[in-house]
Amino acid sequence: MSEKKQSDIQLEKIDDNRWRVPQHGNMRVDGIVYTSETLLPHLQADATVQQVANVAQLPGIVGQSLAMPDAHWGYGFPIGGVAAFDADEGVISPGGVGYDINCGVRLMRSNLRRNDIEDSMKELVTALFKNIPSGVGSERSDLRLTEQNERKVLLEGAQWAVSAGFGTENDIEHIEERGCLTGANPDIISKEAYKRGRPQLGTLGSGNHFVEIGYVEEVYNPAIASILGLEEGGVTVIVHTGSRGLGYQVCDDFLQEMLAASRKYGIELPDKQLCCAPITSPEGQRYYSAMACAANYAFANRQIITHWIRETFERVLNMSPRELQMNLIYDVAHNIAKFETYLIDGKERKVCVHRKGATRAFPAKHPAVPSVYQGIGQPVLIPGDMGRCSYVLIGTDQAMSDTFGSTCHGAGRMLSRTAAIKRAKGRAIWRELADQGIIVKSEGRETLAEEMPEAYKNVADVVEVVHNAGISRKVVKLRPLGVIKG
């Protein structure tokens, strides 16, 4: 089941926002797909639904195998897939996390208004592009980690970055898991992963990674927006990147080990890309510890980039940090496996939740939500494509009961990169975006072609599904003004 062929599984409509993949064959649970009549054809155009069914066959899965409205075909799990496995009897799978471990998003607000920066946008975008290395294999020459410091990054994540002068303690309070996933063991990481990670910390990378300057175009919930520090016309910055070559190498290193573990423990796989090991096994524990290292690298990576963004704004606009007030609202992971506790069939149960292209969406009063957001819930950050818009939502109690505290993570690809490049032939995507008032800089024309708005579903349609389903609630809409791409 490694090809992207269309699934022939018939879906049963539950309501306007959910369709069921009925339990059949070796499925241990049902599948639930969050989508709408508008988005359903995109979901059925590839093997996403079949992958939801495949995940439902893995040992120890509880609840349902889930897919968010931005879901599309991925390695093993669909991108946009969520599945929880019993901590004692379930499995852990690299395919449920992905290659870019802890690819995630962070959002900053500022005291700036849209009209404060309109005349400086070209200069800002150019300066950001210069200060934040992007593209395949990108490096920053003035940040060279020693082997000892790289180990600290893998253990401490964003907390190491702050201790090294990249940001403030206040930033740590506004990051999922306070920017550090416990259980990391740097001794498990291969020499090749260390080698790839050492020069790439503080870099954006390639593909759909970006830094985006935008502004609040529309406010849906003024009371919550005010607590987040967002108001109409206010300037924001989004950062989207992950664990770079280190995370990719960690995933690659463990795929063969997990394939062997699947055979060793007698786990029947509907697709070898779902190779896995019991969570409690030595192989399962090793993968989790290595994944935590890569997740911490990603938290540190976004933290360092944040510091350089602040420095860039301060220099270009000749403003002090106090004047700028470029504060971190939140940082969320969306390629990760984590141990969490849920009420399942009337009993509290510890599970390992795999979120691959999905965002945590915890409600008010949840102990994992920062103290400043205890009254409203966890901020949920949903970036769109570079030509349309992005959204800030808030987590809900409904998500805790229905989706293991999860929601969508973005717009979701509609065209493969090859198809997007073909469609963009003869067009100047940067000029089309400039005509919309969006300044874009990237390492090459091909990157913009791969990432053009038409390659993605409309994020507004995706967000409408999760909002109407009650698994996260809209707070504000952001409109892009300038973007740098990997």
The catalytic residues are: 409
Q: Angle at the Cα of 220 (from 394 to 410), degrees rounded to 5?
A: 50
List all residues 6 or more positions away from 26 whose beta carbon is below 8 Å from its beta carbon.
Answer: 57, 268, 270
Beta-strand pair 472-485/439-441: parallel
DSSP state of 450: H
Q: Compute the radius of gyration of the chain from its Cα atoms.
A: 21
User: What is the C-alpha separation between 104 and 54, in angstroms, rounded?
Assistant: 25
Is residue 409 marked as binding? Answer: yes
Neighbours of 45 (CB within 10 A): 14
Are 410 and 103 contacting, i.e. CB atoms less than 8 angstroms apart? no
Structure tokens at 438: 């969006």
Is residue 385 marked as binding? Answer: yes
Are 200 and 207 contacting, i.e. CB atoms less than 8 angstroms apart? no
Are 48 and 38 contacting, i.e. CB atoms less than 8 angstroms apart? no
Is residue 291 marked as binding? Answer: no
Is residue 384 marked as binding? Answer: yes
Is residue 170 marked as binding? Answer: no
Is residue 377 marked as binding? Answer: no
Are 268 and 275 contacting, i.e. CB atoms less than 8 angstroms apart? no
Is residue 211 marked as binding? Answer: yes
List all residues 6 or more positions away from 262 whose beta carbon is below 8 Å from its beta carbon.
Answer: 269, 272, 275, 276, 277
Neighbours of 37 (CB within 10 A): 8
Is residue 85 marked as binding? Answer: no
List all residues 6 or more positions away from 417 whose beta carbon is below 8 Å from its beta carbon.
Answer: 450, 455
Handedness of CA 185, 190, 191, 192 (dihedral sign): negative
Is residue 410 marked as binding? Answer: yes
Half-sphere exposure of 449 (CA within 13 A, CB side): 15
Is residue 240 marked as binding? Answer: yes
Integer CA distances (angstroms), 279 to 63, 208, 230, 425, in order? 17, 31, 41, 47
3-state secondary structure of 481: strand
Is residue 242 marked as binding? Answer: no
Beta-strand pair 327-333/104-113: antiparallel
User: What is the C-alpha separation between 127 and 471, in angstroms, rounded?
Assistant: 38
Is residue 171 marked as binding? Answer: no
Integer CA distances (angstroms), 267 to 145, 262, 270, 467, 486, in order? 40, 5, 10, 37, 39
User: What is the C-alpha separation between 235 and 213, in angstroms, rounded?
Assistant: 7
3-state secondary structure of 338: strand
Is residue 174 marked as binding? Answer: no
Annotated binding site: 100, 208-212, 240, 334-335, 383-386, 390, 409-412, 485
Q: Which residues are annotated as a binding site for GMP?
A: 208-212, 334-335, 383-386, 390, 409-412, 485
Q: Which residues carry a binding-site annotation for Mn(2+)? A: 100, 209, 240, 334
